[in-house]
Amino acid sequence: MKTKILMVCLGNICRSPLAEGILASKLDPTKFMVDSAGTAGYHVGELADRRSIATAKQYGIDITYQRSRKFVRSDFQTFEYIFAMDQSNYNNILSLAKTAEDRSKVHLMLNQISPNSNAEVPDPYYGGDQGFENVFQMLDEACSIFAAKLSKS
Ligand code: 4NP
């Protein structure tokens, strides 16, 4: 059975599609499955934001296969790890958790870099292209650390 990891943001068009693409690029696809979702359904069925697609492409990562979907309660059964991009996503996911096991699967993405700091991946949607590059760099660092842990376990 593959280990399954879910990346979650608000719209599932900017941050979590990048997180999905970056983490997947660092893991063996025969052993791991990476997906992403949004806590809101504003963009369901859409491609990732063109700025996320362009930023990923600059680093050799194709995320054009992705389509936005909403986080659903059954994701707690499907996935072993659920990473929230910010505190609001984290709280929204936890509000759907039913059991202590569900809750134990939810983590803040940037705590991989600085445990317990509760730092957030800023929402780049209303900003310029530099915001997407900034998000890419923080996600790349967090995903490298997490991928190294997974590959050891
Ligand atoms: P994301 O960014 O949560 O990183 O995908 C957003 C995308 C769209 C909206 C908000 C955040 N929106 O309000 O439509």
Q: pLDDT of 54-73, one tens digit each?
A: 999 999 999 999 999 999 99
Q: In the prediction, which pLDDT does 62 show?
A: 98
User: Is residue 125 lining ligand 1, measured as CB closer than 6 Å?
Assistant: yes
**Range of 127's domain?**
3-152
Nearest in space to 124 (alpha carbons), one of 137, 116, 135, 114: 135
Cα 123 to ligand 1 centre (Å): 7
Q: pLDDT of 41-59, one tens digit each?
A: 999 999 999 999 999 999 9
> Using CA positions, which residue lies closest to atom 10 of ligand 1?
11
Q: pLDDT of 18-37, one tens digit each?
A: 999 999 999 999 999 999 99
Q: Residue 17 CA: which ligand 1 atom is closest?
A: 5
pTM, two decimal places: 0.98
Give yes or no for a contact between 124 and 15, defined as CB atoms under 8 angstroms apart. yes
The helices-and-strands tally (H runs, E runs) of the chain is 6, 4
Indicate the number of domains in the chain. 1
Residue 147: give its domain's CATH number.
Answer: 3.40.50.2300
Give yes or no for a contact between 81 and 107, defined as CB atoms under 8 angstroms apart. yes
- Mutate which of 89, 123, 126, 135 for ligand 1 pocket (most atoms within 8 A of beta carbon): 123
